Amino acid sequence: MIDEQPICEVDYNANHLRLNLALLHNQHAGDTPYEDICDIAGFEHSRRTQVKAFVTRALGSGNNTLLQGSEDSREKAMRACNSTGMTTKVFETIEYATLKRFPKLGLYKGWGLHAQNLEGQILKDVMLEGIKEDIVCLPVHDAIAVQQQYQNWAKEVMLETWQAHLDGVKTKVKVKVDLA
């Protein structure tokens, strides 16, 4: 609740993956990137959470140079996934499917810190737009919480703000609304 009104969470779909592809390769990730990876891997879409966990860890591990990944970075991502119960076989299957679907995706290069920084800047600007409209926006990772009555406003502003931060890169982002 915000001011005794029910809230919703408006969140960017596959944001780190989308930012990486858009900024570094001017490539659109498609409407359902995690589900696409599931399909290639031969997994049910119910395993989307595992795919997302892999992508998050694989994008985040690395030396943060964005130049090239390393075997050590891959091993770090694998250990992080293994610690959540993901087997090495599942890790490798998802890795193969991810690179088959998105061959340019910068895995194991430390992209996660860049993505988190950019995501924070984008959400800050969304919140500033909320201040202008007297709409309370609370940041939640790659999302904002707003009163449900402002969900359409939030979706529009989040899409516009994301695109504005991409400096003319013509690609698409998706947002979804989760009601509280």
| Three-class HEC string of 37-74 | HHHHHCCCHHHHHHHHHHHHHHHHCCCCCCCCCCHHHH
Q: Residues 106, 24: one domain?
A: yes
Residue 29 located in a structural domain: yes
Q: What are phi and psi of 84, to 5 degrees?
A: -95, 0
Q: Residues 103, 24: one domain?
A: yes
Confidence of residue 166 (pLDDT cuts 50, 70, 90): confident
Residue 2 located in a structural domain: no
Residue 27 located in a structural domain: yes
Quote the pTM value. Answer: 0.90
CB 169 within 8 A of CB 26: yes
The pLDDT tens digits for 87-114 are: 999 999 999 999 999 999 989 999 999 9
- CA pair distance 73, 76, nearest whole angstrom: 5
How many domains is the chain built from? 2
Q: Residues 68, 143: one domain?
A: no
Please give the residue range of the domain that contains residue 159. Answer: 7-14+113-179
Q: Residues 102, 89: one domain?
A: yes
pLDDT at 64 exceeding the cut of 60: no
Q: Residues 123, 59: one domain?
A: no
Q: Residues 121, 78: one domain?
A: no
- CA pair distance 101, 39, nearest whole angstrom: 10
Q: Residues 75, 156: one domain?
A: no
* Whole-number pLDDT of residue 104: 94
The pLDDT tens digits for 22-58 are: 999 999 999 999 999 999 999 999 999 999 999 999 9
Residue 106 located in a structural domain: yes
